[in-house]
Amino acid sequence: GRKVLIVYAHQEPKSLNGSLKRVAVEELSKQGCSVTVSDLYAMQFEPRATRNDIVGCLQNSEEFNYGVETWEAYKRGCLSNDLIEEQKKVQEADLLIFQFPLYWFSMPAIMKGWMDRVLVQGFAHEFPNCYDSGLLKNKLALFSFTTGGSKEMYAKGGISGDIRYVLWPMQHGIMHFCGVKVLAPHICFAPEYVSEEKRKEMLIAWAKRLKTLWKEEPINCSPEWYFK
Amino acid sequence: GRKVLIVYAHQEPKSLNGSLKRVAVEELSKQGCSVTVSDLYAMQFEPRATRNDIVGCLQNSEEFNYGVETWEAYKRGCLSNDLIEEQKKVQEADLLIFQFPLYWFSMPAIMKGWMDRVLVQGFAHEFPNCYDSGLLKNKLALFSFTTGGSKEMYAKGGISGDIRYVLWPMQHGIMHFCGVKVLAPHICFAPEYVSEEKRKEMLIAWAKRLKTLWKEEPINCSPEWYFK
């Protein structure tokens, strides 16, 4: 059975994001996948990248360099426990699903903190092992999110620009950088402004997509996909 | 005298980001500006958008909606104190400078949390008052940051793509959405991989730019600037 990690960032289980997460757990479990959820708000996950992420002494306590210190700490097994736990989940997963509401053209800070703190050098990348040779190659990622703005606002030529523009930092800058292949995003536009029936259709569409997810080919994660 | 708010996100005062912040405080003060710094790590600024941001009762405690609840709390004066403090600083400022190291093609989570939590509906925008009619119009913003990757990696056709691609969510999606006009970004590429002398030149260049900053015209914050 395949292993899936859902990194989930919503405060309210009754939200559409909460339902989308539940649908994914149910559908993937039904397929025989083993599904793990990191429910970031429920875990009170720490988003701040600080000295506390390194247990014990620093390499250079005179001038703190987060990237260098976490890289060294990873190699020595001295990262804080919450990071080691998340890295284990990532290591075991075949697929990472990120489920969140779009906040300011990006992910909520609590999820950005997960990226900042979990994907440390040595674990997820280590120059020159980045992009196609990133250390998390052979894994897949999928960004599943809701928006405040409508599909029309996020169209090419719309006031908020093509929704693909906001995917560049997340899909290319983070996942592709770590060698992860990216499946097409799953976007629910403006659920707060549609009927209850439409929201139910959104859940059904997600469940349906998940049924054949493992047959999907990753996108070609290059500038053309985003900015053509 | 003009008022400037520097929102600063680096753990180490001795870092180049720390020096860039100091140079800005010194140069702008010398010009007679009144400068305020929000030193996010030193303040242990909370990045997580939670129920704690609303003091007292919720509008709907059965189903928590962060956007709706903070909008209502703003109108009733019931946001948490740390948010009210930051909003006062923003309200008074003519110019916002964001000083940070680029983390994963974006700002560090602690600064993303500042955006997520401070720029609430009712304060920074309120439909249809967004983009050119956003509630923070008549203010300027400037993103000043350091990168890990080199200028060549962040060139059009480079492996990390045009650096302007990563500016879209921050400049257009956040600042322009709130009506803030955006000055050209100030970017120090790969300071960790250059000589001490080169780093000093970076500080001098920043001080020099600040001398004539108030004469600069904002960029044309439309897709052409980013993706042309």
- What are the pLDDT tens digits along chain A (228 aa)? 999 999 999 999 999 999 999 999 999 999 999 999 999 999 999 999 999 999 999 999 999 999 999 999 999 999 999 999 999 999 999 999 999 999 999 999 999 999 999 999 999 999 999 999 999 999 999 999 999 999 999 999 999 999 999 999 999 999 999 999 999 999 999 999 999 999 999 999 999 999 999 999 999 999 999 998
**What is the pTM assigned to this prediction?**
0.98
Report, in angstroms and rounded to the nearest whole number, the Rg of chain B calculated over CA atoms.
Answer: 18
Query: Tokens at residue A86, please?
Result: 């998340």
* Helices B16-30 and B196-211, packing angle to 10 deg: 30
- For residue B71, give how far its alpha carbon lies from the nearest alpha carbon of chain A (Å): 14
Query: Tokens at residue A155, please?
Result: 């169209």
Produce one character per residue of A136-159: b if its CB has 16 or more CB atoms within 10 Å, e if not. beebbbbbbbbbbbeeebbeeeeb
What confidence tens digit (pLDDT) does each residue in B108-146 have? 999 999 999 999 999 999 999 999 999 999 999 999 999
Integer Cα distance of B23 and B29 in angstroms: 10
Query: Could you tell me if B161 lies within 8 Å of chain A, comparing CB atoms?
Result: yes
What confidence tens digit (pLDDT) does each residue in B21-45 have? 999 999 999 999 999 999 999 999 9
- For residue B212, give how far its alpha carbon lies from the nearest alpha carbon of chain A (Å): 31
Query: Tokens at residue B169, please?
Result: 């969510």
Q: What is the ipTM of this complex?
A: 0.98
At the topology level of CATH, where does A3-227 sit?
Rossmann fold (3.40.50)
Best residue in A19, A40, A41, A103 for a mutation probing chain B (most B CBs within 10 Å): A103
8 A C-beta contact, residue B107 and residue B150: no
Interface of A with B in 35-64 (CB under 8 A): 41, 44, 47-51, 62-64
Query: Could you tell me if A228 lies within 8 Å of chain B, comparing CB atoms?
Result: no
**Closest to A99 (Cα-Cα) out of A207, A3, A7:** A7
Which of helix, strand or coil describes residue B193? Answer: helix
What pLDDT does B61 receive? 96
Q: Give the H or E element holding residue A82.
A: helix A81-92
- For residue B14, give how far its alpha carbon lies from the nearest alpha carbon of chain A (Å): 6
What confidence tens digit (pLDDT) does each residue in B60-87 have? 999 999 999 999 999 999 999 999 999 9
What pLDDT does A36 receive? 98
Query: Could you tell me if A118 lies within 8 Å of chain B, comparing CB atoms?
Result: no
8 A C-beta contact, residue B147 and residue B188: yes
Integer Cα distance of A164 and B56 in angstroms: 39
- In percent, the amount of chain B with pLDDT more than 70 equals 100
- Nearest chain A residue to B42, by CA: A50
